[in-house]
Amino acid sequence: MDAIYFVTTTWETIGVLVFQKELTLDLVDDFFSGPIILSWRKLALYLEDVRKEWHRDTMFEWYQWLAERMIEREKASPPVPAHVAHR
């Protein structure tokens, strides 16, 4: 549970910072797109249950927003590893 809390609050914080334009989506994409997408896929149903249990639809809202942006970006342009893209 500690690991889930750490991951979700980290992505939640980064999501708010991107939305508020304190960080760029490009920068976050370069650093974290894979972990954000993969963790969202694994945790989405669990987090939905937590929202229902706590009666708080706003829990993990920025994490979800950020994951959805990353998923949209990958659909438009599949990721290319840096060691390949910048040879």
Q: What is the pLDDT along the chain (87 residues), one digit of tens a residue?
A: 899 999 999 999 999 999 999 999 999 999 999 999 999 999 999 999 999 999 999 999 999 999 999 999 999 999 999 999 999
Integer-rounded Cα Rg, in Å, for the chain is 14
Q: What's the pTM value of the predicted model, to 2 decimals?
A: 0.92
| Residues of the domain holding 71 | 2-85
Burial of 21 by CB count in 10 Å (0-12 exposed, 13-18 middle, 19+ buried)? exposed
| Cβ neighbours of 66 (radius 10 Å) | 27
Number of structural domains (the chain) is 1
